[in-house]
Amino acid sequence: DTAVSQTPKYLVTQMGNDKSIKCEQNLGHDTMYWYKQDSKKFLKIMFSYNNKELIINETVPNRFSPKSPDKAHLNLHINSLELGDSAVYFCASSQVRGLEQFFGPGTRLTVL
């Protein structure tokens, strides 16, 4: 009965490849988010979707594209992976914008 789940947990890939990370929440929340935690452990928001519509798009390269097929899912597609994309990516969701956000376990992406 995991609240926010992500797959895969670990992802190792070569530079230039395209990869996707999936996120699902079973909390019935309207808003979902993607965060990136870099090697210095700073956690920064990348995207936010509310009812399947994009409401935040921080200064993220357009190689990153979120896709929300429905309210319960927010997937992250990354094209032409670069070394600097190596990080832990966290998905989160909340009932209304802001308030208490529930985070997934994270996906550790390593680009070689």
Do residues 7 and 73 touch, judged by C-beta distance below 8 A?
no
* Region of 20-28, 60-68, 72-80, 94-102 interacting with other proteins (CB under 8 A): 94-102
Rounded-to-integer distance, Cα 21 and Cα 74, Å: 9
Q: Does 98 bind other proteins (CB under 8 A)?
A: yes
Neighbours of 76 (CB within 10 A): 22
Q: Does 110 bind other proteins (CB under 8 A)?
A: no
Backbone angles phi, psi at 97, to 5 degrees: -55, 125
Q: Does 46 bind other proteins (CB under 8 A)?
A: no
Contacts by 42-46 with C-beta closer than 8 Å and gap 24+?
43/90, 46/76
Q: What is the DSSP secondary-structure string of 47-60?
A: EEEETTEEEEE-S-
79 vs 103, beta carbon nearer other proteins: 103
52 vs 103, beta carbon nearer other proteins: 103
Binding mask 57-86 for other proteins (x = CB under 8 A): ------------------------------
Binding site for other proteins (CB under 8 A): 4, 31, 33, 41-45, 48, 55-56, 90, 92, 94, 97-106
